């Protein structure tokens, strides 16, 4: 269930679908709702992170929480200075519609347009969705 939007400032971007925002003098980690970006070690991971940075980093943001994920991140819709970051990442070919969690079926049309124009990761012959990549790639040893 959506709650009231928070007025925030984006202080860092950690991946193509995750950022840190300062809202009312406290920081929250925000996972963009309904999308899944390539992992950092995956092809297009850095491109996706840079794209979200271009959209949101060091900008005012409206963060509309939808809930929390298993890692206690705030899952939210994020608008940075008038740009819907969730949708823009799909439009640029920098993220997939996250099938498991999508409620806005219109995102599939945007993703199909990105595929047809070979935007971003759709330039690759066989892009691997991050949820499949995570399932088949061992975690790095620390």
In the set 31, 34, 88, 92, the catalytic residue is 31
Which sign, positive or negative, has the C-alpha torsion 53, 59, 62, 64?
A: positive
Is 41 tagged catalytic? no
Backbone angles phi, psi at 91, to 5 degrees: -60, -40
Going from the C-alpha of 81 to that of each of 10, 11, 29, 51, 58, the distances in angstroms are 11, 14, 19, 15, 10
Is 34 tagged catalytic? no
In the set 34, 73, 88, 92, the catalytic residue is 73
Is 73 tagged catalytic? yes
In the set 34, 39, 88, 92, the catalytic residue is 39
Distance CA 70, CA 100 (A): 14
Q: Up-side HSE of residue 124: CA atoms within 13 Å toward CB?
A: 13
Instruction: Look at residues 103, 93, 104 and name the one whose alpha carbon lies nearest to residue 129.
Output: 93
Catalytic residue numbers read: 31, 39, 73
């Amino acid at each position: 269930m959506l709650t009231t939007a928070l007025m925030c400032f984006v202080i860092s971007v950690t991946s193509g679908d995750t950022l840190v925002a300062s809202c009312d003098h406290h920081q929250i980690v925000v996972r963009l709702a309904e999308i899944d970006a390539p992992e950092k070690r995956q092809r297009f991971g850095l491109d996706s992170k840079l794209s979200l940075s271009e959209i949101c980093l060091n900008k005012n943001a409206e963060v509309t929480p939808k809930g929390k994920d298993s890692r206690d991140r705030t899952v939210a819709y994020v608008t940075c200075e008038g740009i819907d970051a969730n949708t823009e990442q799909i439009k640029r070919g920098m993220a997939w519609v996250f099938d498991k969690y999508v409620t806005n079926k219109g995102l599939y049309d945007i993703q199909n347009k990105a595929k047809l124009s070979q935007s971003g990761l759709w330039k690759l012959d066989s892009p691997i969705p991050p949820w499949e990549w995570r399932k088949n790639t061992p975690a790095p040893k620390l």
